[in-house]
Copies of this chain bind each other. A is one copy, B any other.
Amino acid sequence: MAVTEALESNCDVLIIGAGPAGMMMAAWMARMGINARIVDKRSTKIYAGQADGLQLRSLEIFDSFGFADRAWKEANHMIEMCMWNPGEDGVLRRSDRVPDVPAGLSRFTQIVLHQGRIERFFLDHIKKHSKDRLRVERAVLPESLEIDEERSDDYSADNYPIKVQLRHLTDEEAAPAQANGPTVNDGLFRSNLVDDDTDDLINKGRENKGGTETVRAKYMVGCDGAHSWTRRQLGFQLEGEPTDFIWGVLDIVPITDFPDIRNRCAVHSASSGSLMVIPREEKLVRLYIQLTEIKPDASGRADRSKITPETIIKAAQKIIAPYSLTYEYCDWFTAYQIGQRVGTNFDHKNRVFLTGDAVHTHSPKAGQGMNVSMQDSFNLGWKLGLVVKGIAQPSILKTYQSERRRIAQDLIDFDHKFSRLFSGRPAKDVMDEEGVSMEDFKQAFLNGNMFASGLSVDYGTSMLVAKPGSSADQGDGTDVSSTHHQKVVGRQELATNIKLGMRFPSYKVLNQSDARPWEFQEKLRSDGRFRIVVFAGNVVSPQQQARLKVFCQHLTSSGFLAPHIHKSVALLTCHAAKRTEVELLRDFPDVLHPFDSKMGWDYDSVFVDDVSYHEGFGDAYKNYGVDKENGCVVVTRPDQYVGHVDSLDEEGFVGVESYFRGVLVPVS
């Protein structure tokens, strides 16, 4: 791929790195029609190994894009977690079984699937929604970054303050060197135990015929991993603690008489270290194995040459004895020695952003890495998209750091605690204070479950979340309070289980028009729009009809909000009368199910909390904590997080409009 030296072009958003964080960012760009580019230094997408647990929230997000079903079908589903440790006789035994995630959290459970497949789903999605215009450009890496600091606050449409030089590599340059022959995929080259090769790649590229080009961008997102080149250009640091624990990872088809090899297991041996079992798709099992016999050298690093599939399986055999464990087929292996670290800054002047491993590193055992990384981009992508399109005020970009840096801090606290409990020797008895109490371990697992599901994320107050309190306290310290004249505070009491700052939960409701049951969250698609969810209450009561009518009249007559309705703010209705006593065309204001002269009435926007013929009763109002008579109004952000709650009346309309005045740009 020879590119002429003089090539120059503009784009709105330049994404560096095409791992899951970069792919998620590109997915938003494709959905929102943004002129974006995504480049990756590698010449191929990955084919084995890498992080692969998908937590509940990630599946909900995939579903909002429309491809959760593909992951759900191909993945292994993890249902049960078993804990093994020595009994009083010193022999390994199962001490506990618990559900892998608590019941009732979500329509999904935790699943495990090869990261390469997840990247495939993203690629297909990006291709479809960008109409093939946005493609991952591989074997391309940035080699210089300049930012026009003086114009970084200038959000005029023709200002591209970022200048990046990109180098195009040849395929051979871009392919990583792998140590082991062709049979076993060696993941050590991406492990933190070896040095990053980005600078080598740049130097190699400079010597050869792969050309360069200059890109001017409005925004840039560094999704370029733990060794982030982008982060280094900005001079930001990762802060945190190193660790002495060294872990090996094996993906094998196990041959074993260990009874729980198809369950997630935490195995604490008496004195040979710990092991985690993560059953995967296609008969594979991933084992995380503590390598107690490999110690860091004087530099603090482990000796790489000692780490092979053979040394790792030997360590596993000691831990899992008296059960036997061997394999004929090994798919991949690696090792790591990771502390918990968080980036000092997640953005530079609202122009350059860092997501994923570029701003947080931690151990992979908690199955959080890929999930939190994707969710960083899921948080940022729609904000960038709306600002680029001139729909939202640029000030919302500040909330990326305040919201996600706080999550990263929570993540490393969780991982720090869990890793140490998992790596420690089990206590022999209650007097053994150096050992880890297995009861403490179990409690830490159960307590961490909500966090690990991704559903405990609770963003602090800002112009995007109408919560009481201080934005600095509730986030990472950044001030992201609304610049609007008066602070809007949502009336949480009107929807007690739709928490401001948390994701909109899901219960089954029926489509008023055809009685089909839907998870209500499925109707909050990731299309870049905010939503006003109208809980219309008991619409057969004349008083409630009148309240609904007044609210809708305000919506359609508001000089500020009306031009945004259906375009950047969608409407979604759920009422609580009996479905069969209500008619869509008679009982609901037109704005809630708009008419199109070519396509007729919209039949996909009004829902009802009623019993289904085949799938039971979602009891949505009760579960959402909304009054069935009076209803309420909930505003969701494009990422399904709850921004505002208010009453279904004139006063409530004022609150809703006020919320949006703090976020959206007036349509002139």
Contacts and interface: CB of A to CB of B under 8 A. Distances in A.
Contacts of A529: none
Contacts of A256: 600
Interface size range on A against B: 35 or more
Contacts of A109: 614
Given A597-B328, A598-B328, A515 B79 contact: yes
A600 B514 contact: no
Nearest to A514: B262
Interface stretch (A10-18, A549-557, A578-586): A578-586
A541 B516 CA distance: 45
A103 B279 contact: no
A73 B73 CA distance: 13
A80 B263 contact: no
Contacts of A231: none
A77 B254 CA distance: 42
A598 B283 CA distance: 11
A613 B516 contact: no
A79 B599 contact: no
A257 interface: yes
A109 to B, nearest CB: 6
Contact of A255 (B99, B253, B329, B600): B600
A189 interface: no
A542 interface: no
A191 interface: no
A79 to B, nearest CB: 4
Contacts of A614: 79, 99, 103, 109
B253 A613 contact: no
A97 interface: yes
A639 B253 CA distance: 31
Contacts of A261: 513, 603
A259 B328 contact: no
Interface in A323-350: 328-329
Interface string A503-514: 000000001011
A109 B328 CA distance: 44
A662 to B, nearest CB: 36
A613 B515 contact: no
A241 interface: no
A69 interface: yes
Given A259-B583, A585-B257, A613-B99, A516 B77 contact: yes
Contacts of A598: 253, 328-329
Interface in A427-479: none
A423 to B, nearest CB: 26
Given A69-B69, A97-B580, A262-B514, A600 B79 contact: no
B80 A600 contact: no
A80 B514 contact: yes
A262 B600 contact: no
Nearest to A614: B103
Interface in A495-543: 511, 513-517
B514 A263 contact: yes
A600 B253 contact: yes
Interface string A550-576: 000000000000000000000000000
Contact of A80 (B262, B586, B613): B613
B514 A103 contact: no
Contact of A79 (B80, B262, B601, B613): B613
A94 to B, nearest CB: 10
Contacts of A597: 255, 328
Nearest to A326: B600
Q: Which 7 A-B pairs have the closest CB atoms?
A: A262-B513, A262-B514, A255-B600, A79-B515, A99-B613, A80-B515, A328-B598
Given A99-B614, A255-B597, A259-B583, 10 more contacts: A77-B516, A78-B514, A253-B600, A255-B599, A255-B600, A259-B585, A259-B586, A261-B513, A263-B515, A283-B603
